Amino acid sequence: MVFSSDRDGGLGGYDFYYSIYENGQWGKPVNFGAPINSAYDEFRAIAVKAAEYENDVLIFSSNRPGGKGGFDIYFTGIDAMPD
């Protein structure tokens, strides 16, 4: 599961975390870190399985500087998530 939270320990604003479901329980949330997360807000994550590649794809919106304004759409490769 990938989710956005403004919990303590983040880089600022809302950050993305992931948690893996194993043995009937959700694991401890792990912050994706920089450069995926920034001091700004990251929202609306979609993790896409990319079977023919080594990485999966994370598509998300952020209000970080450098975009066209407001919440812009970004994408990046992430480590392949378990099935």
* DSSP assignment letter at 24: T
For residue 80, what pLDDT band results from cuts at 50, 70 and 90? Answer: confident
Q: What is the number of other CB atoms lying within 10 angstroms of the CB of residue 37?
A: 23
pLDDT at residue number 79: 82
Q: pTM of this prediction?
A: 0.84
The single residue listed with the structure tokens 């990046």 is 76
pLDDT score, position 83: 63
pLDDT tens-digit series, residues 19-71: 999 999 999 999 999 999 999 999 999 888 877 778 888 999 999 998 888 89
Q: What is the pLDDT of residue 9?
A: 87
